[in-house]
C-alpha cells in the first residue's frame, strides 16, 4: 500500500463499512462514527469532510444516507489515497482532495456544500507521536478557529457544520461560530453514567439566528467501570455505532 508499510481492514457499523487503515499510525474509531451519525444529511444533498483521513466518517454517512454527493479534504497524501480506495471498495463515489484546509485547493474552494463535518486534531500541546501520520492527525497545527472558518466558508447559506472535539475545547468552538452561525446544538458525550463529558458534538447552521440548545448527555458505556474485555455499550450507543442509527441533534 502506497505510503504505509502495512494496513489492516477494520469494520464499522456492524460490518456495513470496511475500511483499510494503517497498522501503525492514526486510525479512526468511535468518534468518527459518532460524527457521521450526527450529520443531518438527506438523500441528494452534498457532504464535505475536512481532514477526512482514511474516510471513515464520510463513508459512514454514505452508508446511512443514499444518494449523497461526497467530498473529502485530507492533508496527508497517503491517507487521501486510502480514502479514495476505501470509497471505491465500499461502492461509493467520493471526490477526495489532497491539500491544506488553510490553503484550500482551488477546485474545492469554488464549491459549497449542504453539510460539512470535521474531527479536528484534539491536542494542542504535549508530546507529538513519533509516527508522522499519527502526530499530524492528533496534534493541532492549524488552529481550531481556522477549521471552523474553513467549514463555514464551504457551506451553503443555512447549511450545517458538525464538529466533534474534546469537551474542554467547547469555548473555542463557540467563539469561532459567534455571529456567523446559529441554531447551535451541543451534545455532551460521556464515557459512563455520572462521568463528566470527555467529548462534545457541536452542530450549527450558517447564518441562522435560532437560539442555542444543550442536550442531555449521550452515554457510551452501560457499566460503571470496565470490568471485562467484552463490549458494554449502552443500547443507544450500540444502535449508533453498530447499526448505523442517526443521532438527530434537532430532536435531542
The pLDDT value recorded for residue 129 is 44
Let me know: does 148 contact 163? Beta carbons within 8 Å: yes
The pLDDT value recorded for residue 137 is 46
As a whole number of angstroms, the distance between CA 118 and CA 162 comes to 7
The pLDDT value recorded for residue 5 is 81
H or E stretch at 185: strand 181-192
C-alpha cell at 14: 456492524
Give the model confidence (pLDDT) of 149-196 as tens digits. Answer: 999 999 999 999 999 999 999 999 999 999 999 999 999 999 999 999
Between the CA of residue 101 and those of 111, 135, 143, 203, what are the distances in Å? 14, 17, 11, 19
Let me know: does 63 contact 33? Beta carbons within 8 Å: no
Query: Which residues, at least 6 apart from 223, have a Cβ–Cβ distance to it below 8 Å?
Result: 192, 232
Low-confidence ranges of the chain (pLDDT < 50): 1, 126-130, 132-139
C-alpha cell at 90: 465500499
Where does 7-224 sit in CATH, by number?
A: 3.40.50.150
The pLDDT value recorded for residue 230 is 60
Which candidate, 42, 12, 39, 49, places its Cα nearest to that of 28? Answer: 12
The pLDDT value recorded for residue 185 is 98
The pLDDT value recorded for residue 24 is 86
The pLDDT value recorded for residue 61 is 98
Query: Which residues, at least 6 apart from 45, have a Cβ–Cβ distance to it below 8 Å?
Result: 65, 68, 69, 114, 115
Give the model confidence (pLDDT) of 7-17 as tens digits. Answer: 999 999 999 99
C-alpha cell at 165: 472535539
Q: At what angle do helices 56-64 and 77-89 cross, to 10 degrees?
A: 20
Let me know: does 155 contact 112? Beta carbons within 8 Å: yes
Amino acid at each position: 500500500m502506497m505510503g504505509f508499510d502495512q494496513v489492516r481492514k477494520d469494520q464499522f457499523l456492524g460490518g456495513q463499512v470496511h475500511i483499510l487503515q494503517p497498522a501503525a499510525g492514526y486510525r479512526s474509531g468511535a468518534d468518527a462514527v459518532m460524527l457521521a451519525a450526527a450529520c443531518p444529511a438527506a438523500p441528494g444533498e452534498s457532504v464535505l469532510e475536512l481532514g477526512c483521513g482514511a474516510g471513515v466518517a464520510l463513508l459512514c454517512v454514505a452508508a446511512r444516507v443514499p444518494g449523497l454527493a461526497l467530498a473529502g479534504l485530507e492533508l496527508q497524501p497517503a491517507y487521501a489515497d486510502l480514502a479514495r480506495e476505501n470509497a471505491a471498495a465500499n461502492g461509493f463515489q467520493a471526490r477526495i482532495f489532497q491539500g491544506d484546509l488553510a490553503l484550500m485547493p482551488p477546485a474545492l474552494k469554488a464549491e459549497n456544500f449542504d453539510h460539512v463535518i470535521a474531527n479536528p486534531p484534539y491536542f494542542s500541546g504535549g508530546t507529538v507521536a513519533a509516527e508522522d501520520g499519527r502526530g499530524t492527525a492528533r496534534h493541532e497545527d492549524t488552529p481550531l478557529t481556522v477549521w471552523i472558518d474553513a467549514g463555514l466558508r464551504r457551506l451553503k447559506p443555512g447549511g450545517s457544520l458538525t464538529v466533534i472535539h474534546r469537551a474542554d475545547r467547547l469555548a473555542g468552538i463557540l467563539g469561532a461560530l459567534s455571529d456567523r452561525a446559529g441554531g447551535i446544538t451541543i451534545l455532551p458525550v460521556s464515557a459512563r453514567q455520572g462521568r463528566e463529558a470527555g467529548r462534545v458534538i457541536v452542530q450549527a447552521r450558517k447564518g441562522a439566528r435560532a437560539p442555542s440548545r444543550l442536550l442531555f448527555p449521550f452515554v457510551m458505556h452501560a457499566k460503571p467501570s470496565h470490568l471485562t474485555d467484552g463490549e458494554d455499550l449502552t443500547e443507544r450507543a450500540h444502535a449508533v455505532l453498530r447499526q448505523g442509527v442517526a443521532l438527530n441533534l434537532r430532536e435531542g
